[in-house]
Structure 1
Amino acid sequence: MIPAAPIAVQPAALPHTPVAQRWQQLWREAVRDSRELLALLGLEDAGLAISDEAAAQFPLRVPRGFVARMRHGDPNDPLLRQVLPLDAEMQPMPGFSLDAVGDGAAKAGNGVIRKYRGRALLVTTGSCAIHCRYCFRRHFPYAEETAAAGGWREAVALIAQDHDIDEVILSGGDPWSLATPKLAELTDALAGIAHLKRLRVHTRLPVVLPERVDDALLGWLRSLPWPVTVVLHANHANEFDADVDAALARLRSTGATLLNQAVLLRGVNDSVDALAELSERGLAAGVLPYYLHQLDRVQGSAHFEISDEAALRLHRELAARLSGYLVPRLVREVAGDPGKRPLQP
């Protein structure tokens, strides 16, 4: 952990910021320079192969509260590895593409993706509070493809016309990077669609920027007419701290179901100990494991990949150690499949 003293690393010290705006202020103060990040961690002379070219293609962004959970002086910290642009990203690798999961082929309308029966995924925004180097949408054309364009009209009309859709998934980017009134604008429009039964939100913000879970967001969640499932994304137990625990408790108070999906990443969580600790720490915060994804093979992420054989071995060891409800499903997303594909021996 980073020592608590420096104000620059401790975003809690914002006494004059109104509560309703605090998460936006913390977002604006995120670290955006690799050298500043390494300096905050005492790693200026660690010889890490940071890449300005990779950062130019996919900018560094990491909230200072997330930086504060990284281990000071450790160049192999699992949280640091998820966000630091490295030279390895710029090495071309066969089999790695710009659209690893077939989002383009599954486009049903502006910002609307239809891959699986009964579900419509809305790319609500291209913004995220953190830029994870393995992101499968790091090359996604957000400027042209967001459901928010035109006041959500095209997206809502497509869903209203298709009575097969009973669940809407808010994704991105990160949907909770949108201001709460913007979210309410969308859900107010969706509320008039009688065949919708469920709402799902895929978000990393409660983990990386727990201040986002403010009173306005909670009020919006309580007002929704559907059961809500919030699918979080944490890859390592060290991503949880007291602030995250408190944010998740507030989310649970709305009646939302909390699940976690993780990505299996070399050097981050590719050990049975790390995976077991992630499941147990998540459960302690009220979050059940959901999916453990094999890496989506997007350009720039090959250095995170582990083999299917290693993934299956880890999953078997995890199942032998933990109660069944703590073992996430090991899956891969394959373009054109009717659902996530379970990995088989």
Structure 2
Amino acid sequence: MIPSNPQNNQSAPGRAPVWQHELRQAFTRPHELLAFLGLDPATPALRAASLRDFPLRVPRGFAARMRKGDPRDPLFLQVWPAPQEDETAPGYVIDAVGDLHRVRGAGLIHKYRGRVLLVATGACAVHCRYCFRRHFPYSEQLAARERWAPALAEIAADPGIEEVILSGGDPLSLSDDKLAELVGALDAIPQLKRLRIHTRQPVVLPERIDERLLAWLDTTRLQTVFVLHANHARELDASVAEALQPLRRRGIPLLNQAVLLRGVNDDVESLATLSERLFECGVLPYYLHLLDRVQGAAHFDLPEPRAQELMRMLSSRLPGYLVPKLVREIAGEPAKTWINWQDGISPQAD
């Protein structure tokens, strides 16, 4: 088990944090990940995609949660560059959610009323193969440290913006010094009320929740919300549950966004177990996204009627607070689009 108590994640003075060391050890070569998992690289289904535009990256701790010798393991499928990625599928595009049409400045995306998204970094601890930003031009649209000023000025000049969403990539890929500086600058904008952090790192790299991170979180006046990303209950082992405890003790709301993925969680048992395990870890199921139709990810997609059927079964099995909202993001729409799955039933709303 990976130790995830913040006290155990500290490095000696002057040395890099433990999480950065773990990140440097991540798998980046397909044959090394296959060898670790005892999988035969000669298997046709395990031929790797080109990786030219979207390389492999898997933390070793996350790989350790995968079943050895199982090419259909739901965690493995999320990160393995399947050969279908190199195929062109009609209707699957580079900018699946219309981000590039809503960019206001360096890394600032304004889609929805009252809140803006700040692309703080292009780096992630893990490269999920269904990522809707796998083709995003991070080199052109990034609120890097030397380019924060224009984005912050845009936010300050718009009194209707009350919430900033830190995204990426994964914003927790930034060092704590940089994050503290950025959040301090956001603190100084009077109309801002909330800070939302969209991150997968506490799930795939629980060492990231350490004392340095908690220190700058303790200094902000902004109401802070963490939106995590887990798609399967086996992602949430004891190290993840332990890592989330300091956030819970600080009263920080923890929400989860999952993506409905073929072969990963496209059955009611997987979805129900995920919701229950999230709640055990102090996290509320928030959204279940239909796949964003990004080029290279068509093999993960499910028909909408199947998603609706799964939600009906899930609703009949779980209390209402454990049933996530089924949504799709449609480019140009003013909010997430809720997918109606209640026709013909009367789900409980307890």
Q: TM-score range by the shorter chain?
A: over 0.9
1:211-243: CA deviation from partner (whole Å, max 9, x where unpaired): 000001011111110111100000000001111
Classify the secondary structure of the residue corresponding to 1:55: coil
Task: Tell me what 1:292 maps to.
Answer: 288
Conserved in 1, the CA contact under 8 Å of 2:326 and 2:338? yes
Cα separation, 1, equivalents of 2:243 and 2:90: 41
The answer as to 2:196 corresponding to 1:216 is: no
Cα separation, 1, equivalents of 2:83 and 2:321: 39
Cα separation, 2, equivalents of 1:291 and 1:311: 13
1:38-187 residue pairs with structure 2 within 5 A? 38-44=34-40, 47-187=43-183
Conserved in 2, the CA contact under 8 Å of 1:120 and 1:165? yes
What amino acid is aligned across from residue 250 of structure 2 in structure 1?
T
How far residue 16 of structure 1 moved from its aligned partner, in angstroms, is 11
**Candidates 187, 197, 204, aligned match of 2:200:** 204
**Candidates 327, 331, 337, aligned match of 1:331:** 327
What amino acid is aligned across from residue 171 of structure 2 in structure 1?
P
Distance 1:191 1:11, change over 3 A: closer
1:302-313 residue pairs with structure 2 within 5 A? 302-313=298-309
Task: Tell me what 2:313 maps to.
Answer: 317
1:154-178: CA deviation from partner (whole Å, max 9, x where unpaired): 1100000000100000000000000
Conserved in 2, the CA contact under 8 Å of 1:20 and 1:214? no
What amino acid is aligned across from residue 194 of structure 2 in structure 1?
R
Conserved in 1, the CA contact under 8 Å of 2:31 and 2:41? no
TM-score (normalizing by structure 2):
0.92
What amino acid is aligned across from residue 114 of structure 2 in structure 1?
G
How far residue 56 of structure 1 moved from its aligned partner, in angstroms, is 2.4
Cα separation, 1, equivalents of 2:212 and 2:161: 28
1:56-91: CA deviation from partner (whole Å, max 9, x where unpaired): 221000000000000111110000000000111111
Conserved in 2, the CA contact under 8 Å of 1:122 and 1:171? yes
Distance 1:11 1:86, change over 3 A: farther
Classify the secondary structure of the residue corresponding to 1:292: strand
The answer as to 2:230 corresponding to 1:234 is: yes
Identical pairs, percent: 57
Cα separation, 2, equivalents of 1:277 and 1:92: 34
Task: Tell me what 1:24 maps to.
Answer: 20
How far residue 342 of structure 1 moved from its aligned partner, in angstroms, is 0.5
1:211-290 residue pairs with structure 2 within 5 A? 211-290=207-286
Classify the secondary structure of the residue corresponding to 1:56: coil
1:5-16 residue pairs with structure 2 within 5 A? none
How far residue 51 of structure 1 moved from its aligned partner, in angstroms, is 4.6
Task: Tell me what 2:347 maps to.
Answer: none
Cα separation, 1, equivalents of 2:63 and 2:49: 22
Classify the secondary structure of the residue corresponding to 2:161: coil
Conserved in 1, the CA contact under 8 Å of 2:96 and 2:292? yes
Distance 1:11 1:250, change over 3 A: closer
How far residue 286 of structure 1 moved from its aligned partner, in angstroms, is 0.4
Cα separation, 1, equivalents of 2:41 and 2:165: 44
What amino acid is aligned across from residue 220 of structure 2 in structure 1?
L
Cα separation, 1, equivalents of 2:335 and 2:294: 19
Task: Tell me what 1:7 maps to.
Answer: none
Across the aligned residues of Structure 1 and Structure 2, the Cα RMSD in angstroms comes to: 1.8
Cα separation, 1, equivalents of 2:201 and 2:78: 15
Classify the secondary structure of the residue corresponding to 1:115: strand
1:80-130: CA deviation from partner (whole Å, max 9, x where unpaired): 000000111111000000000000001111100000000010000000000
Name stretches of at least 5 consecutive residues in structure 1 with no aligned partner: 5-9
Q: How many residues align?
A: 336
Cα separation, 1, equivalents of 2:127 and 2:115: 26
TM-score (normalizing by structure 1):
0.94
